Amino acid sequence: MQDEAIRSTSEQFGSRIFVDAARIFALSSGVRAVNTSARLHEAGPAIGMHGDDIVAVDAAFSHVLRLRLRQQVAAGPAAETGNGVALANLNEVDMAILRVALRQARRLQQRLKLNYGL
């Protein structure tokens, strides 16, 4: 059951919540950075995030990207893998880290709600 929730969440959002939240934070704080990691690091303090939280969110985003890219490379250039992550292909460690990454995504959503009343 828990794996089903992870599958649903990772298919629905994946890296998208990290990218969108970083864009919103950057726009609201006047940051001109153009990539997600830089946006998080530059805008994070301005929107009330602590340094450790910023590093954790950036690491979670990087892990989600790494899983997706590793799957795309393994499938080869002709495959149509999309941007999702096939959970059946993940080992136990990657699955555990993905769970933590999705918790970080949830915290970003909570930060958006807190800061912008969404």
Give the count of alpha carbons within 13 A of 74, CB side only.
Answer: 10
Span 65-86, pLDDT tens digits: 999 888 888 878 777 766 677 7
For range 39-64, the mean pLDDT? 96
Q: Where are the domains of the chain?
A: 2-116
* Predicted TM-score (pTM) above 0.85: no
pLDDT of residue 12: 53
